[in-house]
Structures are given as C-alpha cells and as structure tokens.
Amino acid sequence: MVKLVLLHKADSIYEDEPDVVYDFPRSYFRAINEAVGDWIIYYEPVRAGPRGYFAAAKIERVIPKPGSEGRFLAMIEPGTFLPFDQNVPRLIAGRPLEEALTEPDGSPKKGGAVQLAVRRLTAADFTRIINLGLPQDLEQIEATRYDLKLPGLNDAAEPFARPVLERLTRRPYRDVAFRRKVREAYGYRCAMSGLMLRNGGGRPEVQAAHIRPVENSGSDSVRNGLALSGTLHWMFDRGLISVADDCETILVSHNKVPGEVVSRLLARDGRLVRPVDPRNAPHPENLRWHRENIFGRGLFEGPVPPV
C-alpha cells in the first residue's frame, strides 16, 4: 500500500465527490490501485482556489467507470473522509511539504511531478501535513476555545500525543473536527432559524448535525452537515423537519409538530440559510437520503425540547 496526494478542483470536469468517489484516467491506475486500503490527502491547486491540502480519506476499492472507457473510480471508504481544521499550503517558508516536489537545496521543483494529479506521498510527508491540518490537540483547543484566560494561571498540561492514524479514526476527535467545520461554514448561525446565539462567555449555541448519520454511511464532509440550534437538531434527527428537493425549502411534519412551534423556531421565509462558501452547501443526495429515510418516519415522543 502507498499514501497519495490527489488533486481535486471544485469545478472539475470529472465526477469527483471527495467523500465518496475520485474519478481518474488510466494513466493513474497503477498508483491509485496501490493505495487501496491506505490513506490519501486531497489537494486543491493554487490556480483553482485557496485551499491547498484540505482533507484526508481512505481508498476502499477501484472500479472501472461505467460507460467511460479508460476511466476509473476510486471509491472512498465510508466514514473515513475528514476535512482539515486548517487548510495547509503547499509551501511553508518557501519549501514544499512534499519531498517529491523539493529540489536538493529545498526550493520548489518546476514542472514534472508538480503537474501530476496523483502523487505518491512518503509517510513522513503524510504525517507532517496531517499534523498541520488536524492538530493532535484539537479536542483541547475546542474545549478551551472560549475559556477566559486569567493572568497568573499556569498553562494546562501538555495533551497526550495521539498517533496520526488514531486521530483519523477516533470518533470523538472526528466529531470535534466535524463540529468546528460545520459551524464555521454557516458563520455560527442556525441554518433553519437564521439565529446566531451565543452564551455569556461568547460560546456559540449552534450545533452540527449530520444529514445522513455516520452509522448509515454518512460522512464527516461539511456537505453532509447542517448548523442547527439544539431544538432543531433534535427535530431534524427525529424526522420532524427536513429540506425539500430544491435544497432550500424547509419541510415540516405538520401532523406531528404544532403550528406555534413552527412559527417560533423556523425562519419566516421557510428557507434554509446558505453557508458562507457555496461549495459547503448541503449535497442534494444527502438531503434526499434524509427525506426518504428519516423525514416523517420518526415517532413523536413527548414534547419538543424548549428553545
């Protein structure tokens, strides 16, 4: 097995969906086939956008692309895709993070490997990029993010340094990474009420909801998330509310949700608040899955939690 960097552009002509599938030509078949069962890092080239290295995932298998001679699909193992907390640039202090892109004197190479859409990645380079994009102390960073820093207090003890692969697979760590990215994507505003609420210490009250749950092969992509208030998160998970196939109109199970609850909780126009970056908008397939499998099927047990 081998680790890879895969180039991805949001406006790519290929049918890429980073948390599901990577579309590639025959010329890269050998390299990607060698990476089956191992991890890859996604990279957005500078000319396509500002993200640089932006996510990690694991390749489950490679299959021929139906109806497309000479093209293949690398299927991403469900539950492995994880966006970086901080995007990582290709160069730091003028030096590439990939050994294959570095001249002996440390300067960036030009042409050749730089232009490849699929590049082999050493274990050391993989670790370096993951550590920059997904800090090992991310859970502590989030837990203390809104704590008041009082002068004279000693810093907390150094967190336990978890191995890279443990971080990528450990559910509590992934939940923190997902929550941070989804709330940031919506500007800490509830996607269904439009409200941005913070407690007295400045901590945002909005939560991050998976549209398709992880236990049902849902991913930790921002496009599988909605920033919701606690009450609306509860209602969404129980199928009392959803989003229509126009990806904007909020659906309500009116036979289970009292009208006064709707008028108090949802935006007046009944439409979803969009993320700050349109590329983070909920994926239509995830919304469809929620409508067909969750919406209207949950049992309404007891009162809706207070706002």
Dump pLDDT digits (tens) for 274-295: 998 998 999 999 999 999 999 9
How sure is the predictor about 82, in pLDDT bands with cuts at 50, 70 and 90? very high
- Which pLDDT does position 158 carry in this prediction? 53
- Which pLDDT does position 307 carry in this prediction? 42
- Which pLDDT does position 162 carry in this prediction? 65
DSSP string, 72-136: EEEEEPTT--EEEEEEE-SEETTEESSGGGB-TTSPBP-SGGGG-SEEEE-HHHHHHHHHHHS-T
- For the cut 80, the answer to whether the pLDDT of residue 300 exceeds it is no
- For the cut 90, the answer to whether the pLDDT of residue 202 exceeds it is no
| Percentage with pLDDT > 70 across the chain | 90
**CA Rg, the chain, in Å?**
21
Q: Report the alpha-carbon distance of residue 176 to residue 142 in Å, rounded.
A: 7
Domains in the chain with CATH codes: 3-133 (3.10.590), 171-293 (no CATH)
| Strand 241-243 with 250-252, pairing | antiparallel
Dump pLDDT digits (tens) for 110-159: 887 888 999 999 999 999 999 999 999 999 999 887 765 545 545 555 55
Dump pLDDT digits (tens) for 92-105: 999 999 999 999 99
